[in-house]
Amino acid sequence: MKYLIVGLGNIGDEYADTRHNIGFMAADTLAANFKKSFEVARLASVARMMLKGRTLVVIKPTTFMNLSGKAVRYWMQKEDIPRENILVIVDDLALPLGALRLKAKGSDGGHNGLISINETIETTEYSRLRIGIGNDFAKGQQVDFVLGRWSAEETKILVPRIDITVELVKSFVLIGTERTMNFFNKR
């Protein structure tokens, strides 16, 4: 069985360590946990790993956030991965910093990466893990906040939550979305 794990973010040094790149952070931590590294491939950086006989194809799209769907569709088709075996990891302003919410399907919530994926693969029926980045910004400052770098205080909260994200991804692969939701969404 194959699984496509998608960490959303933007490529380039100017976006490294920004709130909008939390999906990249989670993907990097997952790969490090398996002692794997990413290689640049078509439309994404890709790392492959095995977990109890299951193949994880972990991608970080190189298409920028607004075109993430192109990378997701390409790797779904290339690897012949059904939508029920897709997990997209994304930042969420509506959740408190470090909160984790796994859903089996749902709306884009105004997130450009999810909008692109929904339009490109023509469904909202795939799992997504939303990681809370908080919403501590003044009116009209949303873009600056999302593209801003983590503070030292935020990093202290976030690092252990990213480690839990790795365990959540493993659970998703081994026992599925519903059972994983029941366990992790309450933590």
What is the C-alpha to C-alpha distance for residues 78 and 28, in angstroms, rounded to an integer? 22
Identify whether 111 is a catalytic site residue. Answer: no
Cα angle value 91/92/95 (rounded, 5°): 135
CB atoms near residue 84 (< 10 Å): 13
Polymer length of the chain? 187
What is the C-alpha to C-alpha distance for residues 16 and 13, in angstroms, rounded to an integer? 5
SS3 139: coil
Q: Is 41 exposed, middle or buried (0-12, 13-18, 19+ CB in 10 A)?
A: middle
Q: Which residue is catalytic, options 20, 111, 161, 170?
A: 20
SS3 170: helix
Catalytic residues, which ones?
20
